[in-house]
Structure 1
């Protein structure tokens, strides 16, 4: 799993040392007549500082601005990002990244969903074998526009599903719909692909926390990926160019050709250790263990498309659903 706070402090130190952040285009303001989505904080409809007299109103707002500035500084020191993929529809969490996602069969008036990692839960890591379903939540998410500017704060009303067993994912339901988000902010949700990605697929890992996009390819798949007490199945392994860091956990992994989400970024082997926390190892079907220091991984998301009904409601008993059950 990735550790965002240590990296955040390093980035803040860089910013304080005089690194000039890359300039970001201001988001296009929503029309005055646009409705404010239910579940979105009206005070956060535009990025902090976007309007006359605008400014942070809470400690969290101040922290978000500081992290965003530091993230821009770090991004300015890195290589170019993928040209065809941007930040629209991604979100920043207090400790991770994520995205507003829809299923291939979602309707515009369905409650919108946010996807991140199971290990990004505000309550801490789910235990091995633990599955959380339909829990109350009021978690907030910073919605990003195409340039990476924060355009709104969205708020959850339920934690729909979360686990770190077989996969590492959490899905929240927002108190607003896809249509309302589009109407107010001109932003569409990212669509989950319903097919398994192929080795060699060009991908982008889009971090809303760091406002950074990593471009690489699917190198292959780990039959089992073991990290500490947790084991994940059929994990996506990146080529080395996706050198993701703490805070990128939960980032959508986007197929560059289709623009669809094929996986959710979750971990990497940092120190070359074998199967320990922050040092996952690959386990083949025959039990052979392989350690790849510096290589990072994601969990496939196509299984989720078989576990939600036409109304966007989770159905773990659906015939094709393979997600772990409580």
Structure 2
């Protein structure tokens, strides 16, 4: 998995951290629609990873804002297989970026609403500010999570707030199970080779260029061609067949996450349709 960066160490010394898995038919509409403009507006830089200011489809301006990144970017360390963190106090800060990647200011967490590396690789922070406050102060609006499965062949952009770099490629396909060390991820997105993401891009939003919505979260890649080891995830098919694709990178789908958040951006793992692992 792609390890988070530490301090100012050179990217050549580090990789990136974690992974996920699924399958759906390609949508001609999503593949052929004109591409929307994708830039850095709403993304954030963490001390060791990337992330973004995110809203659920039902979020309102007065709701406490949320920031999303990988589970393996959690400041208290990577959650173990089967571990789920909910409502944990946090005062982590995030650098909010403009459309061109410039530093606008700092937003701060009040808690970790949810974090896990089981089935998926995600941390959702609740901030001490509302969306309305952030928009008023910085002129920035959050990115919205899609509630539909990404489409094979769709054009995507991986937007790294840490590196201030945007990678462009397509969804190459989906992985039933992606296994990496002790972690197993379900229904992961596999990129075409043009998205050669590196350490520090962990937690970047994967934006569908047709809709402008986030369809996945960047998290891992096979670096050395090893089989199912840390930094070298392997693909496991439904029949148990294992495939190793050196140099190929992956993301975890996010379309099912909105079902787990109710009014006021409140986490509720018992809501209908919520499939995130529970503590």
Normalising by structure 1, report the TM-score: 0.77
Question: Is residue 2:60 matched to residue 1:107?
Answer: yes
Distance in 2 of aligned mates of 1:268 and 1:117: 14
Higher Cα Rg: structure 1 or 2?
Answer: 1
Number of the residue aligned with 1:57: none
| Deviation of the 1:257 alpha carbon | 1.1
Structure 1's unaligned 5+ residue stretches are: 14-81
SS at match of 1:119: helix
Distance in 1 of aligned mates of 2:10 and 2:92: 26
Relative distance call for 1:237 and 1:7 in structure 2 (3 A) is farther
Number of the residue aligned with 1:165: 118
Identify which of 263, 266, 272 aligns with 2:219.
Answer: 266
Distance in 1 of aligned mates of 2:250 and 2:259: 23
Number of the residue aligned with 2:132: 179
Relative distance call for 1:6 and 1:241 in structure 2 (3 A) is farther
Number of the residue aligned with 2:107: 154
SS at match of 2:188: strand
| Deviation of the 1:3 alpha carbon | 2.9
Higher relative contact order (CA 8 A, sep 6+): 2
Question: Is residue 2:71 matched to residue 1:118?
Answer: yes
CA offsets 1:145-196 (integer angstroms, 9 cap, x no match):
0000110110000100000000000000000011111111110000000111
CA offsets 1:34-53 (integer angstroms, 9 cap, x no match):
xxxxxxxxxxxxxxxxxxxx
| Deviation of the 1:4 alpha carbon | 4.4
| Deviation of the 1:2 alpha carbon | 1.5
Number of the residue aligned with 1:9: 9
Contact map agreement 1:7 1:245 (CA 8 A) in 2: no
| Deviation of the 1:8 alpha carbon | 5.3
Contact map agreement 2:36 2:212 (CA 8 A) in 1: no
Number of the residue aligned with 2:270: 317
| Deviation of the 1:10 alpha carbon | 3.2
Contact map agreement 1:101 1:191 (CA 8 A) in 2: yes
Contact map agreement 2:5 2:49 (CA 8 A) in 1: no
| Deviation of the 1:11 alpha carbon | 5.6
Identify which of 216, 239, 250 aligns with 1:297.
Answer: 250
Give 4+ residue runs of structure 1 displaced > 2 Å after superposition: 3-13
Contact map agreement 1:7 1:246 (CA 8 A) in 2: no
Relative distance call for 1:120 and 1:270 in structure 2 (3 A) is same
Per residue, is there more strand in 1 or in 2?
Answer: 2
CA RMSD after TM alignment: 1.6
Question: Is residue 2:176 matched to residue 1:228?
Answer: no
CA offsets 1:83-107 (integer angstroms, 9 cap, x no match):
8210000000001000000001100
| Deviation of the 1:9 alpha carbon | 3.3
SS at match of 1:247: coil
Distance in 1 of aligned mates of 2:6 and 2:267: 35
Structure 2's unaligned 5+ residue stretches are: 14-34
Equivalent residues, number? 258
Distance in 2 of aligned mates of 1:221 and 1:180: 38
Relative distance call for 1:11 and 1:83 in structure 2 (3 A) is farther
SS at match of 1:156: strand
SS at match of 1:302: coil
Per residue, is there more helix in 1 or in 2?
Answer: 1
CA offsets 1:110-152 (integer angstroms, 9 cap, x no match):
0000000000011111000000000000000000000001101
Distance in 2 of aligned mates of 1:215 and 1:83: 13
